[in-house]
Amino acid sequence: MEPIVLAYIGIGLMVGLSGIGSIYGVSISGNAAIGAMKKDASAFGNYMVLSALPSTQGLYGFVGFFVMSGLLSGTVDWTVASAIFGAGIAMGLAGLFSGIRQGEVCASGIAAIGSGHKVFANTMILGVFPELYAILGLLVVILINGAL
């Protein structure tokens, strides 16, 4: 196997796992929004913002790809390929799990808003906490890229 193959597997994990995290997170919170609209359709704007919050993990995966894309060439050695692979795992797993968990936090907030509780701002604050770990994953990608 050539080193570039390992590097591309890392890039695939980075983009793919982060995107899957966003898909699950947005779906979880979107399903909660549909249920909450049955009770209170007037808060649709709040449901929409909270449902979209987990979509950022997929974007971070793409940003990571663009950060690392300058290193992708046929002359990549095993050290660089391993670093790209590790960065891909770090960003991918952080994006996957933070997207899912953020979707669950937002879904709980959406259900509470639908039940008449005024928790939009609190849900935004609590929903950002899982996001911080996706940002840390992207930071790892940037730091690894800077070290190469």
Identify the sign of the CA torsion 107, 19, 129, 51.
negative
CATH of range 3-146; options 3.90.45.10, 1.20.120.610, 1.10.760.10, 3.40.50.2300: 1.20.120.610
- Sign of the C-alpha dihedral, residues 13, 17, 18, 20? positive
Categorize the per-residue pLDDT at 73 as very low, low, confident or very high, splitting at 50, 70 and 90. confident
Can you tell me the distance from the alpha carbon of 113 to that of 99, in angstroms, rounded to the nearest whole number?
Answer: 21
Rounded Cα gap, residues 140 and 137, in angstroms:
5
Tens digit of each residue's pLDDT (9 = 90 or more) over 35-64: 999 999 999 999 999 999 999 999 999 999
Cα distance between residue 142 and residue 51, in whole Å: 28
Give the ranges where the chain is alpha helix by DSSP (H). Answer: 3-39, 44-52, 56-68, 78-114, 120-147
The DSSP code for 43 is: G
The confidence score (pLDDT) of residue 1 equals: 86
74 band by pLDDT with thresholds 50, 70 and 90: confident
Tens of pLDDT, residue by residue over 84-141, are 999 999 999 999 999 999 999 999 999 999 999 999 999 999 999 999 999 999 999 9
Query: Full-prediction pTM beyond 0.85?
Result: yes
Q: Output the CA–CA distances (angstroms, integers) from residue 20 to 44, 87, 93, 125, 129, in the order listed.
A: 25, 17, 10, 23, 19
Query: Percent of the chain at pLDDT above 70?
Result: 100
Domain locations in the chain as residue ranges: 3-146
